[in-house]
Chain A
Amino acid sequence: MQKSISKYLTKNTEAAPLAVFRILFGVMMLLSIIRFWSNGWIQKLYLEPDFHFTYYGFSWVQPLGNFTYVIFGICALAALGIALGYRYKWSVLLFFLSFTYIELMDKTTYLNHYYFISCLAFLMLFLEGGAYFSLDSYRRKQTFTHIPKWNIDSIKLLLGIVYFYAGLAKLNSDWLLRAMPLKIWLPSKYDLPLLGNLMQQEWVHYSFSWFGAIYDLSIPFLLLYKPTRKLGFVLVVIFHVLTRVLFPIGMFPYIMIVSALIFFDAGFHQKIIHFLRKSFRLKTLATTERVSKMSSKPALMAVGVFFVIQLLLPWRYLAYPGELFWTEEGYRFSWRVMLMEKAGYAQFKVVDEQTGKNFYVDNSDFLTPFQEKQMSTQPDFILEYAQYLAAHFSAQGHKNLAVYVESYVALNGRLSQPFIDPNVNLLDEPRSFKPKTFILPFDDTIQGL
């Protein structure tokens, strides 16, 4: 066993697929940041709100006023550096740090695909992305045509985990037996050309649900197995185009489509590089060496630990009581994509415990509509906000404060029901990863994973 592992780790493969991946990834990230900036989202999401929801343990990560633009600028330059293969490792490190910092600033904007980018960037720290067809090799006057095989396999593995776990998450009764939430989302796309009427049909909702689950579970294998690879890629394109047409998911479909190219043979990537060489009239370097240096032990360890975490983290929800979709304890960072339609309403009551006097808070005084929407369905947001309110009002001179919330949530088309225990003073509940006992039980059952 150990022998075969160490034998595997010494195997080499052509560097071209990783070089192409690096270029496309860098370009996609650069475009994403330009798009984000030009949509005015830096201002709107990070500078306008007075208050930001933080990840537990990362409350020190905050937007830095106008310097926030500099962070995005650094992130964009680092993405360009990755694309060009300029000081590859430093570019990746800078990109990973700046991008992750941006994502940690406010969890309101959490998206699985942002997390995916952070994961990918972390992994790329340990890969020989600058070995071939890069400014690095031009500067060194030395290019490596081969790299350790695990470099490319690790990207395939990460993509495989994302798809497969997303598929597993769909194996539940809401998705498969009730066709929820697609049954809510699809009918509202009545004005799509050609598809508008189809979107009203129940069989379409079920077909989309089942196809989506089967697609996610099988796509890694279709892409790995050579005879089905082309079919797999065509399915990748169709699937992501469809999601792009139906839902507002930004750059994610394109990122997944270009990422899936990593599964193709080196010959295909050589052709792309050849094409780029010809279009940009790039010279081929005279001195080439076959293999870049051996992978270092710490790097291999880090990648190993990273994948163990990747495989286990999505299962942490099993350690929590209650329905995952309801409590969302262990929901994030698990490739649970588009699984829920959840809407909520939370009204906070600030009480002076001594006099019994109380008043309700107008959430729009403190939160943007986007923040309020996210807050009202997620217990960790509700708790953090309650504590922020207490800090705000005690600074105003209010004393003996207690904060209660009356909240209702509707999940996947069920009638709304009370969400948080209205008799619990949220100031008595510390932020932690422990099960949140103030969440009221969900009065229905969702079967499955």
Chain B
Amino acid sequence: MKKIISVFTLIALVSFMSCTSDSTDDSGQGQTDQFDRSAMLVNWADNIIIPSYEGFDVEAKALNAAAAAFVATPDASTLGTLRTAWESAYFSFQNVELFDIGKAEELRYSYRLNTYPTNATEITSAVESGNYDLALPSAVDAQGFPALDYLLFGLGDSDAEVLAFYTTDVNAENYKKYLSDVTGSIEQLTATVLADWKNSFRGSFVSNTSSSASGSVDKLANDYIFYYEKLLRAGKVGIPAGIFSNEVLPQTVEAYYKEDLSKALLLEALNATQNFFNGKAYKGSATGASFKAYLDYLNTIKNGSDLSSLINAQFDAARAKANALNSSFVVQIETNNNALLETYNELQRNTILMKIDMLQALDINVDYVDADGD
């Protein structure tokens, strides 16, 4: 009998220990190793993410104000101001699009602000009927910066033609309202996400240092790589260059109607992505704990290849290729699509370094899979 009891005590111990391990999944206590993930999360939140949102918030407000001024007096001058504000805000947005976490993820923020190509037909029918709800998932390609691109540059060939839609057109009032609603929603969504970061999300984000798939490092690493692979590499370059289709698709270029902005937007996004990798402060030069530092730390254990340098070199190689492109990718595709394909190839190499090598080094699963291993 004694034997049975001791065996069952052991088995009970197993179950107990295992349950303990389950319950520790979401707490972040007890870590005392040399790399401070909490410091990395603090650096990300306080020096990069929140300042980037603050920067963009200012731009989003200016954009909405410029739209209001234009709607009040639609003329060449207010249109010019609005277009400049749009361009400036679009640049700034490239610095926050990669942080699809928390409130942003919940609100489908980056989809609502930057799904392209925009659906001109849908916009036109929404304007004409006056019947639309930008919060609907189906309206995702009829709003945000790409919709403004169409509304400010794509309605006509000349400024006068564009202005006519807001002045003499039978639906002028509807156009003005739609425009205001789009800029208004950009401002309001941004304010909501920023407020959430400042009020509560920062605290839970920074303290969630768990190694599990629900931990902040794990989640943001996945979001970051998803952004790089799908939105930057494929969205800005690969899809227009015809990588995923039989034909080139110039109409899928970012800022298609404005035309000469696609390269600049790519470069801005590439910088934001690389700066985040290096933990560089928003609009600053100071660097803090980052993926780079984390990889370097792990490499002191592993003595493997200097992965962070390889990744940085690859960012630079991609940037060098991108710098040589025409400012309009539409023109680039027509004249020499090979140059765009070369840029894609350089971007692709970093997808491999980050998605395979970096995630393996960090022991983070791509798109967490909830199943047993052995």
Residues of A within 8 A of B (CB): 39, 41, 44-45, 109, 111-113, 183-185, 187-194, 196-197, 199-200, 202, 205, 233-234, 237, 240-241, 244-245, 247-254, 257-258, 261, 268, 271-272, 275, 337-338, 341, 343-345, 347, 352, 357-362, 369-370, 373, 408-410, 413-416
Are A184 and B363 touching (Cβ within 8 A)?
Answer: yes
Given A113-B374, A200-B33, A338-B374, answer yes or no on A191-B28 (Cβ-Cβ < 8 Å): yes
CA distance A252 to B368 in the complex (A): 21
A92 CA to B367 CA, complexed, in Å? 38
Contact with A along B343-374 (1 / 0, CB 8 A): 00000100111011101111111111111111
Contacts of B357 in A (CB 8 A): 343, 410, 415-416
Contact between B17 and A244, CB atoms less than 8 A apart: yes
Cβ 8 A contact of B17, one of A241, A272, A370, A413? A241
Given known A39-B370, A415-B357, contact A359–B244 (CB-CB < 8 A) = yes
Query: Given that A111-B374, A345-B355 are known contacts, is A369 also in contact with B304, CB under 8 Å in the complex?
Result: no
Chain A residues with CB under 8 Å of B31's CB are 190-191, 196-197
Q: Does B76 sit at the interface, judged by CB under 8 A?
A: no
Give the residue name and chain of the B residue nearest to A39 (CB): B370
User: What are some 22 contacts across the A-B interface (CB < 8 A)?
Assistant: A183-B302, A185-B363, A190-B33, A194-B30, A196-B32, A197-B33, A237-B10, A245-B18, A248-B372, A250-B372, A252-B374, A254-B15, A257-B10, A344-B356, A352-B246, A357-B247, A359-B243, A360-B238, A369-B366, A409-B356, A413-B302, A416-B352
With contacts A245-B18, A360-B244 taken as known, whether A111 is within 8 angstroms of B373 at the C-beta atoms is yes
**In the assembly, what is the distance between CA of A109 and CA of B371, in Å?**
8
Q: Do A357 and B373 touch (CB < 8 A)? A: no
Which of B28, B30, B211, B367 is close to A188, meaning CB atoms less than 8 Å apart?
A: B211
B1 CB-CB contact with A under 8 Å = yes
> Counting CB contacts under 8 A, is B4 at the interface?
yes
List, in ascending order, chain A residues with CB within 8 A of B1's CB: 271, 275
Give 1 or 0 for each of B13-36: 1 = CB within 8 Å of chain A CB: 111011011001001111111110
Residues of A within 8 A of B367 (CB): 369, 373
With known contacts A183-B302, A254-B14, A191–B355 Cβ distance under 8 A? no
Q: List which B36-63 residues lie within 8 A (CB) of chain A.
A: 37
Find B29's partner among A191, A361, A414 (CB 8 Å cutoff).
A191
A343→B29 CA distance, assembly (Å) = 29
Distance in Å: Cβ of B349 to nearest Cβ of chain A? 9
Docked complex Cα distance between A249 and B21 (Å): 12
Contact of B352 among A187, A345, A373 (CB under 8 A): A345
The verdict on B305 contacting chain A, using a C-beta distance below 8 Å, is yes
Instruction: Report chain B residues within 8 Å CB of A357.
Output: 246-247
A189-B10 contact given A184-B302, A194-B30, A413-B304, CB 8 Å threshold? no
Query: For the complex, what is the distance from the CA of A111 to the CA of B369, rounded to whole Å?
Result: 15
Q: How many A-B contacts at CB < 8 Å in the complex?
A: 173
Known: A184-B360, A257-B14, A408-B356. Contact between A193 and B24, CB under 8 A?
yes
Distance between Cα atoms of A194 and B7 in the complex (Å): 25
Contacts of B18 in A (CB 8 A): 241, 244-245, 253
Considering only residues 295-337 of chain B, those with a C-beta below 8 Å from chain A are 298, 301-302, 304-305, 307, 310
Cα–Cα distance between A41 and B32 once the two chains are bound (Å): 35
A residues near B360, Cβ cutoff 8 Å: 184, 341, 343, 410, 413
In the complex, chain B residues whose CB is within 8 Å of the CB of A352: 246
Instruction: Say whether B74 faces chain A, with CB atoms less than 8 Å apart.
Output: no
Alpha-carbon separation in the docked complex, A194 to B29 (Å): 10
* B11 interface hit (Cβ, 8 Å): yes
Ranked 6 nearest A-B pairs via Cβ: A188-B363, A250-B372, A369-B367, A200-B33, A111-B374, A370-B369
CA distance A241 to B27 in the complex (A): 21
Residues of A within 8 A of B3 (CB): 268, 271
Chain B contacts for A338, CB-based, 8 A: 373-374
Q: How far is the CA of A229 from the CA of B116 in the complex (A)?
A: 67
Question: What's the Cα separation between A109 and B355 when bound, in Å?
Answer: 22
- B373 in complex: contacting residue of A233, A234, A249, A408, CB < 8 Å: A249
Kindly state the separation between the CA atoms of A338 and B30 in the bound complex, as whole angstroms. Answer: 26
Measured between alpha carbons, how far is A190 from B31 in the docked complex, in Å? Answer: 6
The answer for the CA separation of A113 and B372 in the assembled complex, in Å, is: 10
| A237 partner, pick from B13, B246, B366, B368, beta carbons under 8 A | B13
Contact A111 to B372, CB < 8 A, known contacts A183-B301, A191-B31, A193-B29: yes
Cβ-defined contact, B371 with A370, below 8 A = yes
* The one of B27, B34, B243 that contacts A191, using a Cβ cutoff of 8 Å: B27
The answer to whether A192 and B374 have CB atoms under 8 Å apart is no
Residues of B within 8 A of A245 (CB): 17-18, 20-21
Chain A's nearest CB lies how many Å from the CB of B245?
A: 5
Whether A345 lies near B356 (C-beta < 8 A) is yes
Question: Known contacts A191-B28, A191-B209; is A416 also within 8 Å of B243 by CB?
Answer: no
List the A side residues contacting B28 at CB < 8 Å: 191
* A174 CB to nearest chain B CB (Å): 12
Chain B, 236-274, contact with A by CB distance < 8 Å: what is the 0/1 string?
001000111111000000000000000000000000000
